[in-house]
Chain A
Protein backbone atom coordinates (compact mmCIF):
# COMPACT_ATOMS: atom_id res chain seq x y z
CA UNK A 1 0.00 0.00 0.00
CA UNK A 2 2.91 2.32 0.74
CA UNK A 3 4.25 1.78 -2.79
CA UNK A 4 0.84 2.74 -4.20
CA UNK A 5 0.77 5.87 -2.07
CA UNK A 6 4.29 6.86 -3.12
CA UNK A 7 3.43 6.29 -6.79
CA UNK A 8 0.32 8.43 -6.36
CA UNK A 9 2.40 11.17 -4.79
CA UNK A 10 4.52 11.32 -7.94
CA UNK A 11 1.37 12.53 -9.69
CA UNK A 12 0.15 14.74 -6.89
CA UNK A 13 3.43 16.60 -6.48
CA UNK A 14 3.63 17.84 -10.06
CA UNK A 15 3.98 21.63 -9.85
CA UNK A 16 0.78 22.67 -11.60
CA UNK A 17 -1.35 20.47 -9.37
CA UNK A 18 0.52 20.88 -6.10
CA UNK A 19 1.25 24.59 -6.32
CA UNK A 20 -2.13 25.33 -7.88
CA UNK A 21 -3.98 23.53 -5.11
CA UNK A 22 -1.90 25.01 -2.32
CA UNK A 23 -2.27 28.44 -3.90
CA UNK A 24 -6.04 28.03 -3.83
CA UNK A 25 -5.83 26.94 -0.18
CA UNK A 26 -3.82 30.03 0.75
CA UNK A 27 -6.15 32.28 -1.23
CA UNK A 28 -9.38 30.98 0.30
CA UNK A 29 -7.94 30.86 3.81
CA UNK A 30 -6.64 34.41 3.50
CA UNK A 31 -9.97 35.60 2.11
CA UNK A 32 -12.04 34.08 4.92
CA UNK A 33 -9.68 35.35 7.64
CA UNK A 34 -9.41 38.79 6.12
CA UNK A 35 -13.18 39.16 5.89
CA UNK A 36 -13.54 37.87 9.44
CA UNK A 37 -11.23 40.49 10.92
CA UNK A 38 -11.64 43.40 8.54
CA UNK A 39 -15.46 43.32 8.56
CA UNK A 40 -15.61 42.92 12.31
CA UNK A 41 -17.72 46.01 12.82
CA UNK A 42 -19.75 45.69 9.65
CA UNK A 43 -23.54 45.61 10.11
CA UNK A 44 -23.68 43.09 7.24
CA UNK A 45 -21.77 40.47 9.21
CA UNK A 46 -18.29 38.99 8.81
CA UNK A 47 -18.88 35.25 8.54
CA UNK A 48 -20.85 32.61 6.68
CA UNK A 49 -24.34 33.64 5.52
CA UNK A 50 -23.98 37.11 7.01
CA UNK A 51 -23.48 35.91 10.56
CA UNK A 52 -21.69 38.23 12.92
CA UNK A 53 -18.75 37.00 14.95
CA UNK A 54 -18.02 39.81 17.32
CA UNK A 55 -14.83 41.06 18.90
CA UNK A 56 -15.38 39.41 22.25
CA UNK A 57 -15.82 36.02 20.58
CA UNK A 58 -12.59 36.43 18.65
CA UNK A 59 -10.79 37.38 21.84
CA UNK A 60 -11.61 33.97 23.37
CA UNK A 61 -8.95 31.21 23.13
CA UNK A 62 -10.69 29.57 20.17
CA UNK A 63 -10.92 32.93 18.43
CA UNK A 64 -7.41 32.21 17.12
CA UNK A 65 -8.78 29.46 14.86
CA UNK A 66 -12.28 30.78 14.12
CA UNK A 67 -11.16 31.79 10.64
CA UNK A 68 -9.46 28.45 10.09
CA UNK A 69 -12.62 26.55 11.04
CA UNK A 70 -14.63 28.80 8.73
CA UNK A 71 -12.29 27.90 5.85
CA UNK A 72 -13.06 24.20 6.20
CA UNK A 73 -15.84 24.25 3.58
CA UNK A 74 -13.48 25.63 0.94
CA UNK A 75 -10.73 23.22 1.90
CA UNK A 76 -13.29 20.43 1.68
CA UNK A 77 -14.38 21.42 -1.80
CA UNK A 78 -10.76 21.52 -2.94
CA UNK A 79 -10.25 18.04 -1.48
CA UNK A 80 -13.41 16.81 -3.20
CA UNK A 81 -12.10 18.05 -6.55
CA UNK A 82 -8.62 16.54 -6.05
CA UNK A 83 -9.94 13.16 -4.90
CA UNK A 84 -12.60 12.98 -7.63
CA UNK A 85 -10.30 14.09 -10.46
CA UNK A 86 -7.39 11.85 -9.47
CA UNK A 87 -9.67 8.84 -9.16
CA UNK A 88 -11.84 9.33 -12.24
CA UNK A 89 -8.94 10.25 -14.54
CA UNK A 90 -7.56 6.74 -14.20
CA UNK A 91 -10.60 5.66 -16.20
CA UNK A 92 -10.58 8.51 -18.72
CA UNK A 93 -6.84 8.18 -19.41
CA UNK A 94 -7.07 4.39 -19.42
CA UNK A 95 -4.22 4.27 -16.89
CA UNK A 96 -6.15 2.10 -14.45
CA UNK A 97 -5.17 -0.99 -16.43
CA UNK A 98 -1.47 -0.10 -16.05
CA UNK A 99 -1.94 0.35 -12.31
CA UNK A 100 -3.79 -2.93 -11.92
CA UNK A 101 -1.16 -4.83 -13.87
CA UNK A 102 1.50 -3.49 -11.49
CA UNK A 103 -0.71 -3.81 -8.39
CA UNK A 104 -3.39 -6.47 -8.97
CA UNK A 105 -4.72 -6.33 -5.39
CA UNK A 106 -7.47 -3.88 -6.07
CA UNK A 107 -8.29 -2.94 -2.49
CA UNK A 108 -4.60 -2.29 -1.83
CA UNK A 109 -4.53 -0.02 -4.86
CA UNK A 110 -7.67 1.81 -3.75
CA UNK A 111 -6.50 2.27 -0.17
CA UNK A 112 -3.03 3.35 -1.29
CA UNK A 113 -4.49 6.03 -3.53
CA UNK A 114 -6.78 7.11 -0.70
CA UNK A 115 -3.85 7.29 1.70
CA UNK A 116 -1.87 9.48 -0.72
CA UNK A 117 -4.75 11.86 -1.27
CA UNK A 118 -5.50 12.04 2.46
CA UNK A 119 -1.88 13.00 3.10
CA UNK A 120 -2.09 15.57 0.29
CA UNK A 121 -5.17 17.04 1.95
CA UNK A 122 -3.45 17.07 5.34
CA UNK A 123 -0.69 19.18 3.82
CA UNK A 124 -3.35 21.62 2.63
CA UNK A 125 -4.95 21.72 6.08
CA UNK A 126 -1.58 22.32 7.75
CA UNK A 127 -0.88 25.13 5.32
CA UNK A 128 -4.31 26.59 5.97
CA UNK A 129 -3.92 26.55 9.76
CA UNK A 130 -0.51 28.24 9.48
CA UNK A 131 -1.92 30.93 7.19
CA UNK A 132 -4.98 31.37 9.43
CA UNK A 133 -3.02 31.78 12.63
CA UNK A 134 -0.50 34.09 10.98
CA UNK A 135 -3.26 36.27 9.57
CA UNK A 136 -5.18 36.24 12.87
CA UNK A 137 -2.16 37.69 14.63
CA UNK A 138 -1.39 39.98 11.72
CA UNK A 139 -4.90 41.42 11.50
CA UNK A 140 -5.74 41.48 15.21
CA UNK A 141 -4.02 44.82 15.77
CA UNK A 142 -5.89 46.55 12.98
CA UNK A 143 -9.19 45.00 14.14
CA UNK A 144 -8.43 45.94 17.76
CA UNK A 145 -8.80 42.32 18.91
CA UNK A 146 -6.92 41.42 22.06
CA UNK A 147 -4.70 38.35 21.60
CA UNK A 148 -3.87 37.72 25.24
CA UNK A 149 -6.09 34.61 25.40
CA UNK A 150 -4.51 33.16 22.24
CA UNK A 151 -1.30 32.23 23.96
CA UNK A 152 -2.90 30.25 26.77
CA UNK A 153 -3.04 26.47 27.01
CA UNK A 154 -6.79 26.67 26.25
CA UNK A 155 -5.92 28.27 22.92
CA UNK A 156 -3.47 25.48 22.13
CA UNK A 157 -6.16 22.91 22.89
CA UNK A 158 -8.58 24.86 20.69
CA UNK A 159 -6.06 24.81 17.83
CA UNK A 160 -5.61 21.05 18.15
CA UNK A 161 -9.37 20.46 18.28
CA UNK A 162 -10.00 22.72 15.32
CA UNK A 163 -7.21 21.05 13.36
CA UNK A 164 -8.62 17.56 14.02
CA UNK A 165 -12.18 18.63 13.21
CA UNK A 166 -11.19 20.33 9.97
CA UNK A 167 -9.10 17.29 9.00
CA UNK A 168 -12.09 15.01 9.57
CA UNK A 169 -14.31 17.32 7.56
CA UNK A 170 -11.82 17.66 4.68
CA UNK A 171 -11.17 13.92 4.51
CA UNK A 172 -14.93 13.34 4.45
CA UNK A 173 -15.29 15.76 1.53
CA UNK A 174 -12.45 13.99 -0.24
CA UNK A 175 -13.95 10.58 0.39
CA UNK A 176 -17.20 11.74 -1.19
CA UNK A 177 -15.15 12.97 -4.16
CA UNK A 178 -13.43 9.60 -4.49
CA UNK A 179 -16.79 7.83 -4.20
CA UNK A 180 -18.19 9.95 -7.04
CA UNK A 181 -15.04 9.49 -9.13
CA UNK A 182 -15.23 5.71 -8.87
CA UNK A 183 -18.95 5.67 -9.44
CA UNK A 184 -19.11 8.02 -12.42
CA UNK A 185 -15.60 7.40 -13.85
CA UNK A 186 -15.46 10.93 -15.23
CA UNK A 187 -13.68 13.86 -13.54
CA UNK A 188 -16.08 16.47 -14.89
CA UNK A 189 -19.22 14.56 -13.95
CA UNK A 190 -18.02 13.65 -10.49
CA UNK A 191 -16.79 17.14 -9.60
CA UNK A 192 -19.90 18.80 -11.06
CA UNK A 193 -22.27 16.51 -9.23
CA UNK A 194 -20.36 16.79 -5.95
CA UNK A 195 -20.10 20.56 -5.99
CA UNK A 196 -23.68 21.04 -7.21
CA UNK A 197 -25.01 18.79 -4.47
CA UNK A 198 -22.99 20.30 -1.65
CA UNK A 199 -23.29 23.95 -2.65
CA UNK A 200 -26.71 24.12 -4.25
CA UNK A 201 -28.98 21.17 -3.61
CA UNK A 202 -28.20 20.79 0.09
CA UNK A 203 -28.68 24.48 0.75
CA UNK A 204 -32.06 24.46 -0.99
CA UNK A 205 -33.16 21.40 0.99
CA UNK A 206 -31.84 22.89 4.23
CA UNK A 207 -33.70 26.14 3.58
CA UNK A 208 -37.05 24.44 3.01
CA UNK A 209 -36.98 21.30 5.12
CA UNK A 210 -36.71 21.79 8.87
CA UNK A 211 -33.97 19.81 10.64
CA UNK A 212 -32.71 18.39 7.32
CA UNK A 213 -29.26 19.70 8.26
CA UNK A 214 -29.04 16.85 10.74
CA UNK A 215 -28.92 14.35 7.89
CA UNK A 216 -27.37 16.10 4.90
CA UNK A 217 -23.68 15.15 4.47
CA UNK A 218 -22.47 18.62 3.50
CA UNK A 219 -24.21 20.23 6.48
CA UNK A 220 -22.81 17.56 8.76
CA UNK A 221 -19.27 18.12 7.50
CA UNK A 222 -19.59 21.85 8.20
CA UNK A 223 -20.96 21.07 11.61
CA UNK A 224 -18.04 18.76 12.42
CA UNK A 225 -15.50 21.31 11.20
CA UNK A 226 -16.86 23.88 13.61
CA UNK A 227 -17.13 21.38 16.48
CA UNK A 228 -20.93 21.21 16.28
CA UNK A 229 -23.47 23.88 15.35
CA UNK A 230 -27.19 24.60 15.26
CA UNK A 231 -27.73 21.89 12.64
CA UNK A 232 -26.23 19.05 14.55
CA UNK A 233 -24.24 18.25 17.65
CA UNK A 234 -20.64 17.18 17.08
CA UNK A 235 -21.23 13.58 18.15
CA UNK A 236 -24.41 13.22 16.08
CA UNK A 237 -22.57 14.61 13.07
CA UNK A 238 -19.69 12.18 13.52
CA UNK A 239 -21.96 9.16 13.86
CA UNK A 240 -24.18 9.96 10.86
CA UNK A 241 -21.29 11.02 8.65
CA UNK A 242 -19.32 7.89 9.57
CA UNK A 243 -22.32 5.80 8.59
CA UNK A 244 -22.56 7.59 5.23
CA UNK A 245 -18.86 7.15 4.53
CA UNK A 246 -18.86 3.52 5.60
CA UNK A 247 -21.79 2.82 3.28
CA UNK A 248 -20.25 4.67 0.34
CA UNK A 249 -16.90 2.96 1.03
CA UNK A 250 -18.61 -0.41 0.95
CA UNK A 251 -20.36 0.37 -2.33
CA UNK A 252 -17.26 1.61 -4.16
CA UNK A 253 -15.11 -1.12 -2.62
CA UNK A 254 -17.37 -3.82 -4.00
CA UNK A 255 -17.71 -2.02 -7.35
CA UNK A 256 -13.99 -1.45 -7.72
CA UNK A 257 -13.11 -4.99 -6.76
CA UNK A 258 -15.62 -6.67 -9.04
CA UNK A 259 -16.01 -4.36 -12.00
CA UNK A 260 -14.24 -5.38 -15.21
CA UNK A 261 -11.62 -2.94 -16.43
CA UNK A 262 -12.66 -2.88 -20.03
CA UNK A 263 -11.54 0.55 -21.20
Chain B
Protein backbone atom coordinates (compact mmCIF):
# COMPACT_ATOMS: atom_id res chain seq x y z
CA UNK B 1 0.00 0.00 0.00
CA UNK B 2 1.20 3.50 -0.84
CA UNK B 3 2.60 5.63 1.96
CA UNK B 4 1.26 8.74 0.24
CA UNK B 5 -2.08 10.33 1.01
CA UNK B 6 -1.74 12.73 -1.91
CA UNK B 7 0.40 12.39 -4.96
CA UNK B 8 0.06 14.64 -8.00
CA UNK B 9 2.12 14.73 -11.14
CA UNK B 10 2.10 17.52 -13.72
CA UNK B 11 -1.37 18.55 -12.61
CA UNK B 12 -2.58 21.48 -14.72
CA UNK B 13 -5.68 23.57 -15.17
CA UNK B 14 -6.20 26.15 -17.85
CA UNK B 15 -9.20 28.45 -18.27
CA UNK B 16 -9.13 29.56 -21.90
CA UNK B 17 -5.56 30.68 -22.50
CA UNK B 18 -4.90 31.39 -18.84
CA UNK B 19 -3.02 28.70 -16.93
CA UNK B 20 -4.18 28.64 -13.31
CA UNK B 21 -2.21 25.58 -12.23
CA UNK B 22 0.77 24.55 -14.29
CA UNK B 23 2.42 21.12 -14.08
CA UNK B 24 2.13 20.89 -10.31
CA UNK B 25 3.83 17.87 -8.78
CA UNK B 26 4.02 17.09 -5.08
CA UNK B 27 3.42 14.40 -2.51
CA UNK B 28 1.94 14.34 0.97
CA UNK B 29 2.78 11.33 3.18
CA UNK B 30 0.13 9.71 5.37
CA UNK B 31 -0.31 11.02 8.90
CA UNK B 32 1.42 14.35 8.36
CA UNK B 33 0.30 17.96 8.30
CA UNK B 34 1.14 19.59 5.01
CA UNK B 35 0.86 23.34 4.61
CA UNK B 36 -0.23 24.64 1.23
CA UNK B 37 0.91 28.20 0.76
CA UNK B 38 1.11 30.76 -1.98
CA UNK B 39 0.03 34.31 -2.74
CA UNK B 40 -3.58 35.07 -3.61
CA UNK B 41 -4.42 33.74 -7.07
CA UNK B 42 -1.51 31.30 -7.10
CA UNK B 43 -3.82 28.33 -7.75
CA UNK B 44 -4.17 26.80 -4.26
CA UNK B 45 -7.97 26.60 -4.25
CA UNK B 46 -8.12 25.38 -7.85
CA UNK B 47 -5.64 22.62 -6.98
CA UNK B 48 -7.76 21.60 -4.00
CA UNK B 49 -10.88 21.63 -6.16
CA UNK B 50 -9.18 19.32 -8.65
CA UNK B 51 -8.21 16.94 -5.84
CA UNK B 52 -11.86 16.88 -4.72
CA UNK B 53 -13.32 16.26 -8.17
CA UNK B 54 -15.02 19.65 -8.35
CA UNK B 55 -12.88 20.90 -11.22
CA UNK B 56 -11.55 18.75 -14.05
CA UNK B 57 -7.81 19.00 -14.66
CA UNK B 58 -6.71 19.87 -18.17
CA UNK B 59 -3.55 17.83 -17.73
CA UNK B 60 -1.58 15.63 -15.41
CA UNK B 61 -2.70 13.06 -12.91
CA UNK B 62 -3.19 12.60 -9.22
CA UNK B 63 -3.83 9.98 -6.59
CA UNK B 64 -5.71 10.49 -3.34
CA UNK B 65 -5.62 7.71 -0.74
CA UNK B 66 -4.45 5.38 -3.48
CA UNK B 67 -7.24 6.22 -5.94
CA UNK B 68 -7.10 8.29 -9.11
CA UNK B 69 -8.57 11.78 -8.91
CA UNK B 70 -10.56 10.84 -12.01
CA UNK B 71 -12.75 8.73 -9.70
CA UNK B 72 -13.49 10.92 -6.69
CA UNK B 73 -16.38 8.64 -5.68
CA UNK B 74 -13.77 6.04 -4.69
CA UNK B 75 -12.08 8.17 -2.04
CA UNK B 76 -14.29 11.10 -1.03
CA UNK B 77 -16.12 9.05 1.60
CA UNK B 78 -12.77 9.03 3.46
CA UNK B 79 -12.01 12.70 2.88
CA UNK B 80 -13.20 15.73 4.81
CA UNK B 81 -12.92 19.11 3.17
CA UNK B 82 -13.72 22.75 3.51
CA UNK B 83 -12.94 24.71 0.39
CA UNK B 84 -13.02 28.46 -0.02
CA UNK B 85 -14.76 29.11 3.26
CA UNK B 86 -17.84 27.55 4.81
CA UNK B 87 -21.03 27.33 2.72
CA UNK B 88 -24.32 26.31 4.30
CA UNK B 89 -28.05 26.99 4.06
CA UNK B 90 -28.76 30.25 5.92
CA UNK B 91 -32.32 29.33 6.93
CA UNK B 92 -31.32 26.04 8.55
CA UNK B 93 -29.70 25.70 11.97
CA UNK B 94 -26.08 24.67 12.26
CA UNK B 95 -27.12 21.22 13.47
CA UNK B 96 -29.65 20.78 10.66
CA UNK B 97 -27.03 21.78 8.11
CA UNK B 98 -24.78 19.03 9.46
CA UNK B 99 -27.71 16.58 9.39
CA UNK B 100 -28.28 17.36 5.70
CA UNK B 101 -24.66 16.45 4.96
CA UNK B 102 -24.73 13.43 7.28
CA UNK B 103 -27.82 12.08 5.52
CA UNK B 104 -26.25 12.71 2.14
CA UNK B 105 -22.98 11.03 3.07
CA UNK B 106 -24.60 8.14 4.92
CA UNK B 107 -23.09 9.13 8.27
CA UNK B 108 -24.79 8.77 11.63
CA UNK B 109 -27.05 11.66 12.60
CA UNK B 110 -26.10 10.98 16.24
CA UNK B 111 -22.58 12.27 15.66
CA UNK B 112 -23.80 15.81 14.94
CA UNK B 113 -23.93 17.08 18.52
CA UNK B 114 -20.52 15.61 19.26
CA UNK B 115 -19.03 17.35 16.25
CA UNK B 116 -20.59 20.65 17.24
CA UNK B 117 -19.09 20.32 20.71
CA UNK B 118 -15.72 19.37 19.28
CA UNK B 119 -15.51 22.68 17.38
CA UNK B 120 -16.96 24.76 20.21
CA UNK B 121 -20.49 25.15 18.87
CA UNK B 122 -22.20 22.77 21.28
CA UNK B 123 -24.57 25.41 22.61
CA UNK B 124 -25.26 27.11 19.27
CA UNK B 125 -26.26 24.15 17.15
CA UNK B 126 -29.91 25.12 17.23
CA UNK B 127 -29.28 28.67 16.03
CA UNK B 128 -29.82 29.45 12.39
CA UNK B 129 -26.67 29.57 10.30
CA UNK B 130 -27.46 33.10 9.14
CA UNK B 131 -27.07 34.30 12.76
CA UNK B 132 -23.53 32.90 13.07
CA UNK B 133 -20.43 35.09 13.20
CA UNK B 134 -17.66 34.47 10.67
CA UNK B 135 -15.70 32.49 13.24
CA UNK B 136 -18.72 30.31 14.06
CA UNK B 137 -19.35 29.66 10.37
CA UNK B 138 -15.74 28.61 10.04
CA UNK B 139 -16.10 26.22 12.97
CA UNK B 140 -19.22 24.71 11.42
CA UNK B 141 -17.30 24.20 8.18
CA UNK B 142 -14.60 22.34 10.09
CA UNK B 143 -17.26 20.23 11.84
CA UNK B 144 -18.70 19.29 8.45
CA UNK B 145 -15.24 18.34 7.23
CA UNK B 146 -14.77 16.05 10.24
CA UNK B 147 -18.05 14.19 9.59
CA UNK B 148 -16.63 11.20 7.72
CA UNK B 149 -13.94 10.68 10.40
CA UNK B 150 -11.56 11.39 7.56
CA UNK B 151 -8.28 9.76 6.67
CA UNK B 152 -7.47 12.95 4.78
CA UNK B 153 -8.61 16.40 5.80
CA UNK B 154 -8.34 19.23 3.27
CA UNK B 155 -8.92 22.68 4.66
CA UNK B 156 -8.73 25.95 2.78
CA UNK B 157 -7.95 28.86 5.11
CA UNK B 158 -9.57 27.21 8.18
CA UNK B 159 -8.54 29.98 10.59
CA UNK B 160 -10.17 32.82 8.63
CA UNK B 161 -12.24 34.93 10.97
CA UNK B 162 -11.12 33.14 14.13
CA UNK B 163 -9.78 35.01 17.14
CA UNK B 164 -6.36 34.06 18.56
CA UNK B 165 -7.88 31.57 20.99
CA UNK B 166 -9.87 30.01 18.13
CA UNK B 167 -6.76 29.79 15.98
CA UNK B 168 -4.94 28.00 18.79
CA UNK B 169 -7.87 25.59 19.22
CA UNK B 170 -7.82 24.73 15.53
CA UNK B 171 -4.05 24.30 15.63
CA UNK B 172 -4.39 21.86 18.52
CA UNK B 173 -7.25 20.05 16.79
CA UNK B 174 -5.21 19.57 13.62
CA UNK B 175 -2.22 18.36 15.62
CA UNK B 176 -4.40 15.89 17.51
CA UNK B 177 -5.92 14.60 14.28
CA UNK B 178 -2.48 14.16 12.74
CA UNK B 179 -1.29 12.32 15.85
CA UNK B 180 -4.28 10.00 15.43
CA UNK B 181 -3.22 9.25 11.86
CA UNK B 182 -5.26 11.72 9.86
CA UNK B 183 -3.40 13.42 7.06
CA UNK B 184 -4.05 17.16 7.04
CA UNK B 185 -3.59 19.28 3.91
CA UNK B 186 -4.18 22.86 4.91
CA UNK B 187 -3.84 26.16 3.12
CA UNK B 188 -3.47 29.36 5.06
CA UNK B 189 -2.15 32.84 4.65
CA UNK B 190 -1.09 32.77 8.31
CA UNK B 191 2.41 31.53 7.61
CA UNK B 192 3.40 31.60 11.25
CA UNK B 193 0.61 29.09 11.92
CA UNK B 194 1.70 26.92 9.05
CA UNK B 195 5.29 27.01 10.26
CA UNK B 196 4.20 25.95 13.73
CA UNK B 197 2.03 23.00 12.73
CA UNK B 198 3.16 21.66 9.38
CA UNK B 199 5.58 18.82 8.83
CA UNK B 200 5.83 19.55 5.15
CA UNK B 201 5.04 22.35 2.75
CA UNK B 202 3.86 22.84 -0.79
CA UNK B 203 4.50 26.36 -2.02
CA UNK B 204 2.82 27.69 -5.14
CA UNK B 205 3.59 30.76 -7.16
CA UNK B 206 1.67 31.66 -10.29
CA UNK B 207 0.31 28.13 -10.54
CA UNK B 208 3.71 26.47 -10.27
CA UNK B 209 5.11 24.51 -7.36
CA UNK B 210 8.25 26.31 -6.21
CA UNK B 211 8.83 24.12 -3.19
CA UNK B 212 7.50 20.78 -2.03
CA UNK B 213 9.08 19.01 0.87
CA UNK B 214 9.74 19.10 4.60
CA UNK B 215 9.34 22.48 6.25
CA UNK B 216 12.62 22.15 8.13
CA UNK B 217 14.45 21.34 4.89
CA UNK B 218 13.14 24.54 3.37
CA UNK B 219 14.17 26.65 6.32
CA UNK B 220 17.56 24.95 6.76
CA UNK B 221 18.24 25.56 3.11
CA UNK B 222 17.93 29.28 3.61
CA UNK B 223 20.86 31.59 4.24
CA UNK B 224 21.17 32.09 8.02
CA UNK B 225 21.38 35.59 9.40
CA UNK B 226 23.48 36.99 12.23
CA UNK B 227 21.56 39.58 14.19
CA UNK B 228 23.61 42.04 16.22
CA UNK B 229 22.73 45.00 18.43
CA UNK B 230 25.19 47.38 20.01
CA UNK B 231 25.06 49.23 23.31
CA UNK B 232 25.20 52.58 21.51
CA UNK B 233 22.79 52.73 18.54
CA UNK B 234 25.04 55.31 16.90
CA UNK B 235 27.53 52.49 16.28
CA UNK B 236 25.13 50.61 13.94
CA UNK B 237 26.68 52.04 10.70
CA UNK B 238 30.10 51.03 11.98
CA UNK B 239 28.85 47.49 12.64
CA UNK B 240 27.51 47.30 9.11
CA UNK B 241 30.82 48.55 7.72
CA UNK B 242 32.74 45.87 9.64
CA UNK B 243 30.52 43.14 8.17
CA UNK B 244 30.73 44.49 4.64
CA UNK B 245 34.51 44.88 4.93
CA UNK B 246 34.65 41.16 5.75
CA UNK B 247 32.60 40.36 2.61
CA UNK B 248 29.18 39.83 4.22
CA UNK B 249 26.16 41.79 3.04
CA UNK B 250 23.91 43.25 5.69
CA UNK B 251 21.26 45.77 6.50
CA UNK B 252 19.88 47.66 9.49
CA UNK B 253 16.38 46.52 10.50
CA UNK B 254 14.57 47.66 13.64
CA UNK B 255 17.70 48.86 15.44
CA UNK B 256 19.73 45.74 14.67
CA UNK B 257 22.21 44.79 12.01
CA UNK B 258 21.19 41.71 9.99
CA UNK B 259 24.20 40.10 8.33
CA UNK B 260 24.04 37.26 5.81
CA UNK B 261 26.56 34.87 7.30
CA UNK B 262 26.73 31.47 8.95
CA UNK B 263 26.79 31.14 12.73
CA UNK B 264 30.52 30.21 12.58
CA UNK B 265 31.38 33.78 11.68
CA UNK B 266 29.58 35.25 14.72
CA UNK B 267 32.66 34.80 16.96
CA UNK B 268 34.91 36.47 14.41
CA UNK B 269 32.45 39.32 14.08
CA UNK B 270 32.34 39.73 17.87
CA UNK B 271 36.13 39.95 17.97
CA UNK B 272 36.23 42.53 15.14
CA UNK B 273 33.65 44.65 16.96
CA UNK B 274 35.65 44.45 20.20
CA UNK B 275 38.81 45.51 18.37
CA UNK B 276 36.89 48.45 16.92
CA UNK B 277 35.83 49.47 20.40
CA UNK B 278 32.13 48.61 19.93
CA UNK B 279 30.29 46.79 22.69
CA UNK B 280 27.59 44.39 21.48
CA UNK B 281 24.41 44.03 23.53
CA UNK B 282 23.03 41.14 21.43
CA UNK B 283 24.56 38.64 19.02
CA UNK B 284 22.77 35.61 17.69
CA UNK B 285 22.40 33.57 14.55
CA UNK B 286 18.90 32.87 13.23
CA UNK B 287 17.31 31.15 10.27
CA UNK B 288 14.77 33.20 8.32
CA UNK B 289 11.17 32.51 9.32
CA UNK B 290 8.79 30.84 6.91
CA UNK B 291 7.24 34.22 6.28
CA UNK B 292 10.59 35.76 5.30
CA UNK B 293 11.42 32.73 3.18
CA UNK B 294 7.99 32.87 1.57
CA UNK B 295 8.39 36.50 0.61
CA UNK B 296 11.84 35.86 -0.74
CA UNK B 297 10.69 32.90 -2.82
CA UNK B 298 7.52 34.53 -4.11
CA UNK B 299 9.17 37.82 -4.85
CA UNK B 300 7.34 39.67 -2.10
CA UNK B 301 3.83 38.89 -3.45
Please tell me if A101 contacts chain B, counting CB pairs below 8 Å: yes
Contacts A93-B89, A97-B87, A98-B144 given: A260-B100 contact, CB under 8 Å?
no
**Interchain nearest-CB distance for A17 vs B (Å):** 8
**CB-nearest residue of chain B to A4:** B104
A98-B101 in contact (CB<8A) = yes
Most chain B CB neighbours (cut-off 10 Å) among A10, A11, A98: A98
Please tell me if B91 contacts chain A, counting CB pairs below 8 Å: yes
**Interchain nearest-CB distance for B12 vs A (Å):** 14
B100: contacting residue among A10, A94, A105, CB under 8 A: A10
Chain B residues with Cβ below 8 Å from A93 are 87-90
| 0/1 interface trace, chain A 79-104, chain B, CB 8 Å (1 if under) | 00000000001000111011111111
B87-A95 in contact (CB<8A) = yes
Please tell me if B287 contacts chain A, counting CB pairs below 8 Å: no
Please tell me if B139 contacts chain A, counting CB pairs below 8 Å: no
A101-B88 in contact (CB<8A) = no
Interface majority SS on A: helix, strand, loop or mixed?
Answer: helix
Please tell me if A142 contacts chain B, counting CB pairs below 8 Å: no
Please tell me if B113 contacts chain A, counting CB pairs below 8 Å: no
A10-B99 in contact (CB<8A) = yes
Please tell me if B52 contacts chain A, counting CB pairs below 8 Å: yes
Please tell me if B27 contacts chain A, counting CB pairs below 8 Å: no
Please tell me if A251 contacts chain B, counting CB pairs below 8 Å: no
**CB-nearest residue of chain B to A94:** B87
Count A interface residues, CB 8 Å: 26
Please tell me if A56 contacts chain B, counting CB pairs below 8 Å: no
B91-A102 in contact (CB<8A) = no
A10-B105 in contact (CB<8A) = no
A7-B104 in contact (CB<8A) = yes
Chain B residues with Cβ below 8 Å from A260 are 49, 54-56
B81: contacting residue among A7, A10, A101, CB under 8 A: A101
Most chain B CB neighbours (cut-off 10 Å) among A6, A17, A93, A97: A97
**Interchain nearest-CB distance for B58 vs A (Å):** 10
Please tell me if B217 contacts chain A, counting CB pairs below 8 Å: no
Please tell me if B213 contacts chain A, counting CB pairs below 8 Å: no
Most chain B CB neighbours (cut-off 10 Å) among A11, A17, A102: A102
A5-21, CB < 8 A from B: 6-7, 10-11, 14, 16-17
A11-B73 in contact (CB<8A) = no
Chain B residues with Cβ below 8 Å from A17 are 91
Contacts A97-B54, A100-B53 given: A11-B89 contact, CB under 8 Å?
yes
**CB-nearest residue of chain A to B107:** A102
Chain B residues with Cβ below 8 Å from A98 are 87-88, 101, 144
**CB-nearest residue of chain B to A106:** B53
**CB-nearest residue of chain B to A13:** B96
Give the contact-size bracket for chain B.
Answer: 20 to 34
C-alpha spacing A10/B103, complex, angstroms: 9
B90-128, CB < 8 A from A: 90-92, 96, 99-101, 103-106
Contacts A10-B100, A99-B104 given: A94-B84 contact, CB under 8 Å?
yes
C-alpha spacing A221/B84, complex, angstroms: 42
C-alpha spacing A11/B88, complex, angstroms: 11
**CB-nearest residue of chain B to A112:** B104
Please tell me if B79 contacts chain A, counting CB pairs below 8 Å: yes
Please tell me if A262 contacts chain B, counting CB pairs below 8 Å: yes
B87-A104 in contact (CB<8A) = no
C-alpha spacing A258/B58, complex, angstroms: 13
C-alpha spacing A7/B103, complex, angstroms: 5
| 0/1 interface trace, chain A 244-263, chain B, CB 8 Å (1 if under) | 00000000000000101110
B79-A101 in contact (CB<8A) = yes
| 0/1 interface trace, chain A 6-48, chain B, CB 8 Å (1 if under) | 1100110010110000000000000000000000000000000
Chain B residues with Cβ below 8 Å from A14 are 91-92, 96
| Nearest 4 Cβ contacts at the A-B interface | A94-B87, A7-B104, A102-B105, A7-B103
Q: A94-B84, A260-B55 are in contact. List 15 more A-B contacts (CB 8 A).
A: A3-B104, A17-B91, A93-B87, A95-B88, A97-B49, A97-B52, A97-B83, A98-B87, A101-B52, A101-B76, A101-B81, A102-B105, A261-B49, A261-B54, A262-B55
Q: Can you give 25 contacting A-B residue pairs, CB < 8 Å?
A: A6-B103, A7-B100, A7-B103, A10-B92, A10-B99, A11-B89, A11-B92, A14-B96, A93-B87, A93-B90, A94-B85, A95-B88, A98-B101, A98-B144, A101-B76, A102-B76, A102-B105, A103-B104, A104-B53, A104-B72, A258-B56, A260-B49, A261-B49, A261-B54, A262-B49
Chain B residues within CB distance 8 Å of chain A = 46, 49, 52-56, 72-73, 76, 79, 81, 83-85, 87-92, 96, 99-101, 103-106, 144
